[in-house]
Amino acid sequence: MSTNKFTGVINLDIRDSKPDWAPFMLPKAPKDAPNVLVVLYDDTGLAAWSPFGGGIEMPTLQKLADNGLMYSQWHTTALCSPTRSTFLTGRNHHLNGCSCITEAAQGFPGWSGRLPAECATIGQVLQDNGWSTYWLGKNHNVPEQDVSSGASRSEWPVSKGFDRYYGFIGGETNQWYPDLVEDNKFIDQPYGPDEGYHLSKDLVDQAADLDVGVFGEPGIDFGHPAEQLLLVG
């Protein structure tokens, strides 16, 4: 909500009053604000990729590297849930309550598997500043006890700064018969493997459907190309 002060006029007679919508308008991203696309690879060795000197040829990623910036001080926690939490928030995984994967969470500080309210995600920051936000693919940052239809949604992506979500919230899933989630509900896959279904293709199709042009605002698409890593490269 805007922090502008109300500058309208309030009188006993509505005909003598003047509305002012400015204090009640939602924030909008600045003019010409960029779109942001993040592709997060999980459980893979960067040193094996051609952009980092490895033997696996990745021409699309190489092109991005050749025309952009390459950082050399990225540190992982050696586990997917904690590393993803640090990327989402920019904070240490213990501060995020994510010292281990969510299935191994325990009732200790730094180990609960729940992001504290003060650890805002990149989605929340951009959403609060007028961006439309989307998350596609793997999540694995929802506590195991919350992975059911009647459980809390407080740690699901839609509660963490993302307008829309499509993917799976566990640590892994079957690529032909995935445990799919759309926004805040479990869903069946749109068609079966006998008709050509594969999760990677489904995620690409969903990415096209969630094009930021539909919303008419800059957006962030936080994607994970599933375990097959076929979305990019």
Tell me: pLDDT of 214 over 50: no
Residues in the chain: 233
Residue 4 lies in a domain: no
Residue 21 lies in a domain: no
Report residue 34 as tokens.
């960029």
Min mean pLDDT across 35-49, 201-215, 219-233 is at 219-233
> pLDDT digits over 62-80, tens only?
998 899 888 877 777 888 8
Residue 2 lies in a domain: no
pTM: 0.82
Q: Domain range for residue 180?
A: 27-223
How much is the average pLDDT of 15-22? 94
Determine contact, residues 195/206, Cβ cutoff 8 Å.
no
Residue 3 lies in a domain: no
Which single residue is written with the structure tokens 């729940």?
Answer: 114
Percent of the chain predicted with pLDDT > 70: 89
> pLDDT digits over 81-139, tens only?
998 999 899 999 999 999 999 999 999 999 999 999 999 999 999 888 888 888 999 99
Q: What is the DSSP string of 124-175?
A: HHHHHTT-EEEEEEE---S-GGG-STTS--TTSGGGTT-SEEEEE-SS---S
Q: Write down the pLDDT at residue 134.
A: 87
Report residue 75 as tokens.
């540190």
> pLDDT digits over 155-194, tens only?
999 999 998 899 999 999 999 999 999 999 999 999 999 9
> pLDDT digits over 27-60, tens only?
888 888 887 878 887 777 778 889 888 999 989 8
Distances 32 to 27, 179, 217 between C-alpha atoms, Å: 15, 38, 10
Residue 232 lies in a domain: no
Distances 138 to 39, 89, 104 between C-alpha atoms, Å: 11, 17, 18
Total domains, the chain = 1
Query: Residue 141 and residue 114: Cα distance in Å, rounded?
Result: 8
Angle CA(217)–CA(180)–CA(178) in degrees, nearest 5? 130
The per-residue pLDDT of the chain, averaged, comes to 85
CATH number of the domain within which 39 lies: 3.40.720.10
Residue 184 lies in a domain: yes
